Amino acid sequence: MRLYQDIGNKIRKDILDGKYQVGDRLPSERDIAESFSVSRSVVREALIILELEKLIEVRKGSGVYVIQIPTEDKNRNANSGYGPFELMQARQLLESEVAAFAAMQATKTDILKMKQAIDQERQALDNGSVDESADELFHCLLAQSTQNSVLANMVYEVWQ
């Protein structure tokens, strides 16, 4: 496991153990780095992982805030061995091509299912919560609408 993953797991555990609640501001990067005896760049990467997992939110000029308590499945990518930038790049490259192909292949039923997933996500956001499962569902439905099981499986795996 890479150092930033270890630090991310420790911060995640602190949140899970109740050291930080939803709405709480985390210590500064400098303070976190000092408490774990690591560099600030390691802390930044750890925070990026937690931000991608939608556990924290970075507010410019204000700090880093807890926006969601982790659940068991939030560790999915934490121990994959892939860095957050690698995962984000893979998703961007893969999903942009999948979306272009899906635009030519999707049926009306596929489009309706994707719209329902977007509506579910929008409703959660309107209620002030984050529904990562609806976002994941949308992306997987988009990939399935290509009618290509290899592409659908690739997108699914990148989300795991």
Which of 68-72, 136-140, 155-159 has the highest mean predicted lDDT (pLDDT)? 136-140
pLDDT for res 74: 46
CA neighbor of 138 nearest in space, from 157, 160, 111, 158: 111
Burial of 103 (0-12, 13-18, 19+ CB in 10 A): exposed
Which strand (E) or helix (H) includes residue 63? strand 63-66
Parts of the chain belonging to CATH 1.10.10.10:
3-66
CA neighbor of 139 nearest in space, from 119, 158, 122: 158
Q: What is the mean pLDDT of the chain?
A: 86
Give me the CATH code for the 3-66 domain, please: 1.10.10.10
pLDDT tops 50 at residue 70: yes
